[in-house]
Amino acid sequence: MQQVIAELSSGEYGEPKIQEPLAPYTTWKIGGPADLLLIPRSKEELAAAVKLLNRHGTPWMMLGKGSNTLISDKGVRGVVIKLGDGLDYARFEGDTVTAGGAYSFIKLSVLAGKAGLTGLEFAAGIPGTVGGAVYMNAGAHGSDVSRILQRAEVLLPTGELAVLQKDDMAYAYRHSILQTRPGIVTEAVFKLEHGDRNEIAAALAAYKDRRRRTQPLQQACAGSVFRNPEGHYAAKLIEEAGLKGLRVGGAEVSPLHANFIVNTGQATAQDVLSLIEQIRRTVEQKYGVKLIPEVLVVGER
């Protein structure tokens, strides 16, 4: 590992940060250090880094805005890759939008609305990157990425770039083929429709206001913790089970939205995991429904 760190620290592969605490890079503000956090500034640096890591057999993982991720208290062994400024861009051409994998999904929805393009309004409150949204098939308000994605450019584990059409993504509820056949989304192309700017702006404002009133966005959280089981809403099950406000250490089931767990200040990953397990056990005992976490849990246990 020391040889890999030395090579990646040469500056040829991006900005290296050794033993970098990962908590500041997640919306939960939880997580121990990575052996190395690497921020490639371009697709070329990213591809070169992945090829080097594969050559050495070094484990690595991607981290976007950390909005759907719980990093363990011991941190991550190996290399964590975070896309840099060279992959943080958006271009508009007619009704087509092209965005880099590091671009803010929320910002993209706002810019699309200003351009008079409809179809991205659902993204107004999804706090992640374009790459993460494509990977998770992020969605809200009855729509998701699968409705608008045209194609995605993906860096394969071999370090080669490939283009996946929407039909190649095997999209389902909060699922894509990238969760079983890993790849890094470097760019996505969305097909939108021309619409009325005032109507789009009103929809964006309404979604933003609804999230502000119903979700604890002023606190450190990771978005929805559990997937909605078929025929149910996870938040409703958790609330009806009387679990709003339940705490383990510094982690709390939000009194505002039962499918959010908030960091009240000093929560650890273990606090969150213990709380998740209590919620799952209670809901299954009361209603016979198994809740499946939507957040990604990574790192050394």
Catalytic residue numbers, as ranges: 174, 224, 294
Sheet hosting strand 149-155, strand order edge to edge? 90-93, 96-100, 184-191, 149-155, 161-165
Contact 216, 256 (CB under 8 A): yes
Q: Which two tokens stand for residue 65?
A: 């805005």
Strands 69-71 and 96-100: unpaired
Task: Judge contact between 31 and 23, C-beta under 8 A.
Answer: yes
Q: Are 225 and 267 in contact (CB under 8 A)?
A: no
Pairing of strands 76-81, 60-62: parallel
The distance between the two most distant Cα atoms of the chain, rounded to a whole number of Å, is 56
Rounded Cα gap, residues 98 and 177, in angstroms: 21
- Cβ of 236: how many Cβ atoms within 10 Å? 12
Instruction: Give 185's contacts (C-beta < 8 A, 6+ positions apart).
Output: 101, 130, 131, 132, 134, 135, 152, 153, 154, 178
Residue 206 to residue 237: CA distance in whole angstroms = 25
- Report which residue type is found at 52: L
Q: Which residue, 145, 54, 43, is CA-closest to 101?
A: 43
Return d(Cα 214, Cα 182) in angstroms, integer: 34
Of 53, 61, 56, 300, the C-alpha closest to 179 is 61
